[in-house]
Amino acid sequence: MTGRPRRFRLVHLLLVVPYLAVLWPPLYNRVEPSLAGIPFFYWYQMLWIVIGAAVLVPVYFADERAASK
Amino acid sequence: MNSVATTIFVALIALVTVLGFVAARWRSGDLSQLAEWGLGGRRFGTVLTWFLLGGDLYTAYTFIAVPALMFGKGAIGFFAVPYTIIVYPLVYAVFPRLWSVARAKNYVTAADFVRGRFGSSSLALAIAVTGVVATMPYIALQLVGMEVVIASVGLPTKLAIGTFAISHLPLLLAFVALGAYTYVSGLRAPAMIAVVKDLLIYGTVIAAVIVIPIELGGYGKIFSSVGAKSLLLAPATSANLGPQSAYATQALGSALALFLYPHAITGLLSASSRHVIRRNAVVLPAYSFALGLIALLGYMAVAAGVKASPAFADGFKAFNDNYAVPALFLRMFPSWFVGVAFAAIAIGALVPAAIMSIACANLFTRNIWREYVERECAPAREARVAKLASLIVAFGGLFFAIGLPVQYAIQLQLLGGVWIIQTLPSVLLGLYFRSLHPHALLLGWLGGLATGTAMAWTKAGVATTYVLHLFGVAIPCYAALSSLVLNLFVSVMLSFVFNVALGGVRTDATTAADYVS
C-alpha cells in the first residue's frame, strides 16, 4: 500500500468491455444460435456474467502488483 | 395444509433468529461505538463480505419479482442480468476510494463523506434524506416478499379471516425478532444470517434448475412454452427504438443506482480493507449467475402451467404474478424441500431488511441527529440513538407493508431508484473532483429529482420508462438515467459558474492520500 495516487494503466480498459458486450441489445436479441434449447439471448448474457467476472481478474492482479511495489 | 413444509420453515426461521442474537459475540467489539454496531467494526473479510453483500443486494423481493416479471412480461425481465454484470466493474473501479476515505475519516455513511468533502451540511442532509426515503419502501417490499412465502407455506396471513393483527401474526413475530437482534448485534446479525441464507438459496437454485427442467422435459421445452413474442425484445423501428432501449437503459441506470443505496454502502464500508472490495467485485457475480437462473424460474412456471391450475387460483388472486415462483415450488418439490426453499426466501428478506434499517439508522444518527439536534453527541450516545432509530425504521417498514396497499410500496420503490441515483454526482464524482460546488450539486440533485419524478409519474401509476423524442425518434429511456443526465449537466455547469462567481477556497476535510490506501 502506498500513498501515491493510482495511475491509469492499459489493463483498466478491460473494465469497459462488459458494458460494450451487454448494453447494445441488437447484438444478442435473437434466438439462434441456440444452445441445448436455450435461445442465444439468454445463454449469451449468462455467459457474460462469467466473462465479466473473468476480465476483472487480470485487472485485480495488475493493481495488486502495482500497489505492493 | 402442509405440515412438513411448515415445520421446516418455522425451524429454519427460529435457527436464524438465535443466530442473530449470538452474532453480537462474533469478534465482539465495543457495541457502544457506531462503527462497531453499524458497520461491524469494519472487520469483515473477503468471505463474510461476499455473504453479506450477496444477502444484502440479491433480496427476497428480487427472487420473487424478477421471475414474476419474466413470467408475466417475458424477455424484458431479464434486464436484471446485464444490470448485475455491469455493476461490478464500477464497484471495482470506484468504491475502494470511498472505503479508503471513510476509513481514514471515520465516515459511516455516504452523507458523512459529502459533508467532509464539500463542507456543506445542507448537501449532506439532502443525500441522507434521499437515502432514507428511497430505502423505506424497499424494506416494505422485503416484507411483501416474505408474506408471499408465509402465505404459500400455509401459515395464516391476509388470506386468513381474522382481525388485522392476527392475520399478520407470523410476519409481526418475525419482525419483532428482527428488530430485537438488530438492536442487540447491529450489522453482525445480518452478516451471520446471510451465510445461512445464501447456502439455502444456492441449494434451492441448484436443485430447481436441475430437477424442474427434468420434470418439464428439458430447457428446449421450457423456452418453447413461452410465446415467441415474449421470448425476445421487440425489434427497433426507424421511428421507435422500442423495448431494446428500455432494456439497456434500465440495466445501466439500475447499475449506477445500486451501490448508492445506503444498505449497499453500509455493506461495502464494513469490509476490512479496500482489497476486500476489489476481490468481491470479482466473486460477487456468482450471485448474478444465480439470479439469472432464478429469472428463468419464471419461464419454468409458464411451462408448468401453474396459472391455469385451480389449486393456485387463490394465491394468484392475492399476489398476482408474484405467486409464480411459490406456485412452481409447491408443484415441483417434495414438501420438505418446499419448506427449505421458502425459508431461503423468507430469510432472504430478513437479511436486507436488517441491513437497510441499520443503514437508515446510521444516516439518521450521523447526518440528522448529530448535525441538527445534538451537536455534542458522545460516541456511546450516538450508538444508542442509532439502535433506537433502527427499531423505528424497521417498524416503519412493517407499517408500510401491512398498513398500506402493496401497490404503494412497489411504486415508491420504483421512484426510490429514480431518487437515489440523483446522489451520484455528489458521492461518486465527489470521490474524484473536489472542484464541484456544493450549491451546484444541490441544484443538480433537485433538478434531477423533479424531472425524474415528473417523468415517472403517470396517471396510471409509476412507470419507470419515459419516452424521449429526439430528432423524430422515440427513445424509451429509464427515467432515472435521463434525469441523471440533466443532474450531471446542471452540477458540472453550475460548478463552473459558482466557482467563478463566488470564488474562494472551500473546506475539504479530506486529502488526496485519504482515497488511495
Q: How many CB atoms lie within 10 A of CB A42?
A: 24
- If we measure between CA atoms, which residue out of B240, B124, A19, B23 comes closest to residue B31? B23
CA distance B151 to chain A (A): 32
Q: How far is CA B114 from CA B31, B38, B49, B128, B130, in A?
A: 26, 19, 24, 10, 13
Determine contact, residues B312/B151, Cβ cutoff 8 Å: no
CA distance B220 to chain A (A): 4
Residue B430 per-residue DSSP state? G
pLDDT band per the 50, 70, 90 thresholds, residue A65: confident
Task: Find the radius of gyration of the CA atoms of chain B.
Answer: 23
Q: How many CB atoms lie within 10 A of CB B504?
A: 5
Residues 6+ apart with CB under 8 A from B231: A31, A39, A41, B74, B75, B223
> CA-based diameter of chain B, in Å?
72
- If we measure between CA atoms, which residue out of B143, B153, B201 comes closest to residue B175? B143
Residue contact B516–A3, C-beta within 8 A: yes
| pLDDT of B161 higher than 70 | no
CA distance B39 to chain A (A): 23
Residue A23 CA to residue B251 CA, distance in Å, equals: 8
> pLDDT of B192-204, one tens digit each?
888 988 899 889 9
Dihedrals φ, ψ of B467, to 5°? -85, 115
pLDDT at B458: 80
| pLDDT of A68 higher than 80 | no
Q: Least CA distance to B84: which residue of chain A?
A: A49
Residues of chain B above pLDDT 70, percent: 96
Residue B384 CA to residue B382 CA, distance in Å, equals: 5
pLDDT band per the 50, 70, 90 thresholds, residue B159: very low
Residue contact B233–A59, C-beta within 8 A: no
* B51-55, B297-301, B482-486, range with the lowest pLDDT: B51-55
End-to-end CA distance of chain B: 57
Cell representation of residue B264: 449497499
pLDDT at B504: 63
Cell representation of residue B473: 425518434
| pLDDT of B277 higher than 90 | yes
Q: Least CA distance to B245: which residue of chain A?
A: A25
Spell out which residues of chain A touch residue B512, defining contact as CB-CB under 8 Å: 5
Interval B130-159 mean pLDDT = 80
CB proximity A9 to B under 8 Å? no
Burial grade of B141 (CB within 10 A; 0-12, 13-18, 19 or more): buried
Which residue stretches of B159-284 are H helix?
Answer: 164-167, 169-185, 188-216, 219-224, 228-231, 242-258, 262-269, 274-283
Spell out which residues of chain B touch residue A59, defining contact as CB-CB under 8 Å: 92
Residue contact A18–B517, C-beta within 8 A: no
CB proximity A64 to B under 8 Å? yes
Q: Least CA distance to A55: which residue of chain B?
A: B282
Please count the helices (runs of H) and the strands (runs of E) in chain B: 24, 4
Q: How far is CA B141 from CA A7, B402, B411, in A?
A: 42, 10, 10
| pLDDT of B162 higher than 60 | no
Residue B33 per-residue DSSP state? S
CB proximity A33 to B under 8 Å? no
pTM score, whole prediction: 0.91
Residue B102 CA to residue B96 CA, distance in Å, equals: 10
CB proximity A61 to B under 8 Å? no
Residue B400 CA to residue B419 CA, distance in Å, equals: 19
Determine contact, residues B318/B159, Cβ cutoff 8 Å: yes
Spell out which residues of chain B touch residue A18, defining contact as CB-CB under 8 Å: 85-86, 88-89
pLDDT band per the 50, 70, 90 thresholds, residue B152: confident
pLDDT at B314: 83
CA distance A24 to chain B (A): 7
pLDDT at A6: 56
Task: Find the radius of gyration of the CA atoms of chain A.
Answer: 17
Q: List residues bridging with B461 in a β-sheet.
A: B458
> pLDDT of B202-214, one tens digit each?
899 899 989 999 9
Interval A28-44 mean pLDDT = 91
Residue B206 CA to residue B325 CA, distance in Å, equals: 15
Helix (H) or strand (E) holding B475: strand B473-478
A-proximal residues of B, 457-496, CB under 8 Å:
none
Residue B256 CA to residue B249 CA, distance in Å, equals: 10
Chosen for mutation from A40, A44, A46 (greatest number of chain B CBs closer than 10 Å) is: A46
* CA B144 to centroid of chain Cα atoms: 14
Spell out which residues of chain A touch residue B289, defining contact as CB-CB under 8 Å: 46, 49-50
pLDDT band per the 50, 70, 90 thresholds, residue B155: low
List the beta strands (DSSP E) in B365-415.
none
Chosen for mutation from B84, B85, B244 (greatest number of chain A CBs closer than 10 Å) is: B85
Report which residue type is found at B420: I
Residue contact B244–A25, C-beta within 8 A: yes
Which residue ranges form the domains of chain B, and what is each CATH number? 3-236+254-515 (1.20.1730.10)
Spell out which residues of chain B touch residue A39, defining contact as CB-CB under 8 Å: 223, 231-232
* B321-335, B395-409, B454-468, range with the lowest pLDDT: B395-409
Residue contact A56–B92, C-beta within 8 A: yes
CB proximity B288 to A under 8 Å? yes
Q: Where are the domains of chain A?
A: 14-68
End-to-end CA distance of chain A: 8
CB proximity A46 to B under 8 Å? yes
Tally A–B CB contacts below 8 A: 117
Residue contact A45–B81, C-beta within 8 A: yes
Residue B113 CA to residue B107 CA, distance in Å, equals: 6
Residues 6+ apart with CB under 8 A from B388: none
- If we measure between CA atoms, which residue out of B372, B269, B278 comes closest to residue B35? B269
Spell out which residues of chain A touch residue B231, defining contact as CB-CB under 8 Å: 31, 39, 41
CA distance A27 to chain B (A): 10
Interval B353-357 mean pLDDT = 91
Torsion B118-B122-B128-B134 (CA) sign: negative
pLDDT at B2: 66
Residue contact B251–A22, C-beta within 8 A: yes
Spell out which residues of chain B touch residue A46, defining contact as CB-CB under 8 Å: 81, 289, 292
| pLDDT of B160 higher than 70 | no
Q: Please tell me whether residue B2 adopts helix, strand or coil conformation.
A: coil
Q: Least CA distance to A57: which residue of chain B?
A: B282
Residue B88 CA to residue A14 CA, distance in Å, equals: 12
> CA-based diameter of chain A, in Å?
53
A-proximal residues of B, 67-126, CB under 8 Å:
75, 78, 81-82, 84-86, 88-89, 92-93
| pLDDT of B322 higher than 90 | no
Smallest Cβ–Cβ distance between B223 and the set A26, A39, A53 belongs to A39
> pLDDT of B217-249, one tens digit each?
888 889 988 888 888 988 888 888 888 999 999
Helix (H) or strand (E) holding B506: none
Residue contact B78–A42, C-beta within 8 A: yes
State chain A's mean pLDDT as an integer: 86
The dihedral formed by the CA atoms of B389, B391, B397 and B398, expressed in degrees to the nearest 10: -160
pLDDT at B423: 96
pLDDT at A55: 93
Please count the helices (runs of H) and the strands (runs of E) in chain A: 2, 0
Burial grade of B163 (CB within 10 A; 0-12, 13-18, 19 or more): exposed
State chain B's mean pLDDT as an integer: 87
| pLDDT of B429 higher than 90 | yes
Smallest Cβ–Cβ distance between B278 and the set A49, A55, A63 belongs to A63
